[in-house]
Structure 1
Amino acid sequence: MWVTSSLTTALSPARVALGNFDGVHLGHQGVIAEILHDAPQRDLSLSQVRAEGLECEPSPRLSGDRTYATVVSFNPHPQEFFTGRARSLLTPVPEKVEQLRSLGVEQLVLLPFTAELARLTPEAFVAEVLQRHLQTQRVSVGENFHFGRNRSGNSASLRQIGQAYHMEACIAGLQYLEGHRISSSTIRQALASGDVTQANCLLGRPYQLQGTVELGQQLGRTLGFPTANLALPADKFLPRWGVYSVWAQLEDGCKWPAVMNLGCRPTVAGDRPTVEVHLLDWQGDLYHHSLTVHLMTYLRPERQFSSLDALKAQIHQDCQTARSHLQSRP
């Protein structure tokens, strides 16, 4: 997938899914599905490129009359720009790239959200971004999409403005699952309360934490339960503190049943939040390796124990409970 933050290096003509897409959940996938297509084989340049700090695949050359399935998103998130407050993300940029690529998206354009961009009227945004640079033939958005200065544009005005450029507009209606609206905010609320099952249903996949294993205090090893301490991106949204049953995915793609503790470890006087993962029946060295943790079940809140022996007994019980849950829910 081609990743760029500059419209001058974007591939065109394009079919564009437009939005923030934080989470790439089932609702987002419905919007993106409207611009996917079976792309013909393309020639590739020999040069490797780097965009947004990511290793990207070779840039495809334009070929014939094909169009590129493109997601146009914003960095930073517009809410972060307007409030001046850092915003945690369900899918930081590297994770978003991974999810979009898996759906078949061919290009991600991460527009820098600046004051200049925020001042564009809806008409100017369509003319400058969608028409002049991307030569958009089809654009897809959600029903509640807003854009342009002061959020004055919406999905209906996008369709109207696009008609002047013979631009087809697809508007995806709001989606619900078991009475819950599929949205990033609903997923955040579910994760904050520990309702991993609901969050995973709305995402269409398990919520994941992805990072590098770093050296910790090795207290788990002294208790007989060695853990991998996971360093996460600073902007990753963290779910409710506590203990989870998870699948731990190694760099080779293999998944191991595991127990994860997220919190400050009050029994051993922890002073900052940590993510510790104990892989069941695992032996080996994971230091400095990437690890992806897929959250499956919230087992219990974090709490302080009267002794290390009591903590050890609880960890043993957590492992047994996690093993049982994961065996029944692969």
Structure 2
Amino acid sequence: HCKLLKKLREVALELNCEPLILTYANHSKDTLNKNKVPYIISTTPQKIEIFKSRGLNNIELLNFSTQLAEMSPEEFLEKELIEKFHPKAIVLGYDTHFGKDRKGNYDLVKKFEEKYNYKTYRVEPLIFEGSLVSSTIIRGLLSKGEMIAANRLLNRRFSFHGTVTQGKKIGKTLGYPTINIQTENEYQLTPPSGIYYSTSKIDNVMYNSVTNIGTNPTVSTTADIKIESFVLEFDEDVYGKNVETFFIERIREEKKFNNLEELKEAIHQDVQKIKGMINENNWLS
């Protein structure tokens, strides 16, 4: 997508026009088949934030509906693009599909260039270190906890937003108070259970942190997945606030310890290891 955004800016500059991003506010399967909605890498608010950080402020969100799904590609092109935006150019990814049965693609858009007086540009796939970069590949890396590789392909640190909720405060009794995070989207992809070197953005300030994802097997018997972060050099009440957690590296699997003392020692070792990593490369920027 970064390659696509770069091409969009280049074309807009070349044609002296305002770049516009047209994207969906929801996943197509959220309408067509809720049981098969893939876990998302970025929520719509995150996408908008990323677009704006790259200087692209003109964003139109389409709500994918059954009516939209039944539109022929030609009708979609005419009604959703030409009549609404009168484009001088249309920039598509190599695998862009639209319209009924996903039959609309670059070739169809190219076919109507003369009729609607626009230019068509196709962005070819990005190959990185011999591999195709795609959402599916990145989703697979994130699902395995391979944060360094995933972040390299994303060209940013994977993150998600969440609300700070009340926890059992066991971390506080051990000397490591944590913030418990409830993600804001039911389809949000979360990395697998484990301990992560992370950073936490609270009130627009970034802090180094240690994040645990898992069931807390030492102190809990439920299978519920919890997300909690010990934020370094931070001691404020943030219940109810929105926090963005950025994942840098998975440092170990989650383990069940025999008692709280063993758990406390493991947390201490995790924190010391991450402090060492911070000294080598501080990711607060």
**Alignment equivalent of 1:282, drawn from 221, 226, 234:** 234
Q: Which amino acid aligns with 2:7?
A: E
Q: In structure 1, what is the Cα distance between the partners aligned to 2:106 and 2:219?
A: 53
Pairing 1:146–2:119 present: no
User: 1:96-132, CA deviations, whole angstroms, 9 ceiling, x for partnerless residues?
Assistant: 1111111111222221111211122221111111111
Pairing 1:33–2:9 present: no
SS in 1 for 2:234: coil
Q: In structure 1, what is the Cα distance between the partners aligned to 2:80 and 2:94?
A: 20
Pairing 1:121–2:72 present: yes
Q: In structure 2, what is the Cα distance between the partners aligned to 1:106 and 1:67?
A: 13
Residue in structure 2 matched with residue 71 of structure 1 by the alignment: 21
Q: In structure 2, what is the Cα distance between the partners aligned to 1:170 and 1:177?
A: 22
SS in 2 for 1:30: helix
- Contact 2:147-2:248 at 8 Å conserved across structures: yes
Distance 1:232 1:304, change over 3 A: same
User: 1:245-292, CA deviations, whole angstroms, 9 ceiling, x for partnerless residues?
Assistant: 011222133x22210001111111153211100012322222222222
- Contact 1:210-1:293 at 8 Å conserved across structures: yes
SS in 2 for 1:174: coil
Q: In structure 2, what is the Cα distance between the partners aligned to 1:245 and 1:79?
A: 33
**Alignment equivalent of 2:44, drawn from 93, 96, 112:** 93
**Deviation (angstroms), 1:67:** 4.1
**Deviation (angstroms), 1:38:** 11
- Contact 1:126-1:162 at 8 Å conserved across structures: no
**Deviation (angstroms), 1:201:** 0.4
Residue in structure 1 matched with residue 208 of structure 2 by the alignment: 257
Residue in structure 2 matched with residue 82 of structure 1 by the alignment: 32
Residue in structure 1 matched with residue 172 of structure 2 by the alignment: 221
Structure 2, unaligned runs of 5 or more: none
Q: Which amino acid aligns with 1:278?
A: F
**Deviation (angstroms), 1:37:** 6.5
**Alignment equivalent of 2:254, drawn from 299, 302, 306:** 302
- Contact 2:32-2:66 at 8 Å conserved across structures: no
User: 1:31-54, CA deviations, whole angstroms, 9 ceiling, x for partnerless residues?
Assistant: 1222226999xxxxxxxxxxxxxx
Matches within 5 A, 1:1-330: 28-36=1-9, 67-85=17-35, 86-233=37-184, 234-253=186-205, 255-269=206-220, 271=222, 272-330=224-282
Distance 1:270 1:277, change over 3 A: farther
- As a proportion of its length, which structure holds more helix? 2
- Contact 1:68-1:106 at 8 Å conserved across structures: no
**Deviation (angstroms), 1:140:** 0.9
Pairs aligned (count): 278
Q: In structure 1, what is the Cα distance between the partners aligned to 2:163 and 2:194?
A: 20
Distance 1:206 1:84, change over 3 A: same
Q: Which amino acid aligns with 2:96?
A: F
SS in 1 for 2:246: strand
User: 1:150-188, CA deviations, whole angstroms, 9 ceiling, x for partnerless residues?
Assistant: 111221222222332111111010001122321111111
Structure 1, unaligned runs of 5 or more: 1-27, 41-64
Q: In structure 2, what is the Cα distance between the partners aligned to 1:91 and 1:131?
A: 28
**Deviation (angstroms), 1:84:** 2.5
Q: Which amino acid aligns with 1:79?
A: K
Q: Which amino acid aligns with 2:60?
A: V
SS in 2 for 1:69: coil
Aligned residues with identical type, % of pairs: 26
Q: In structure 1, what is the Cα distance between the partners aligned to 2:202 and 2:138?
A: 26
Q: In structure 2, what is the Cα distance between the partners aligned to 1:324 and 1:179?
A: 32
Over the residues paired in the alignment, what is the CA RMSD in angstroms?
2.1
SS in 2 for 1:130: helix
Q: In structure 1, what is the Cα distance between the partners aligned to 2:264 and 2:148?
A: 27
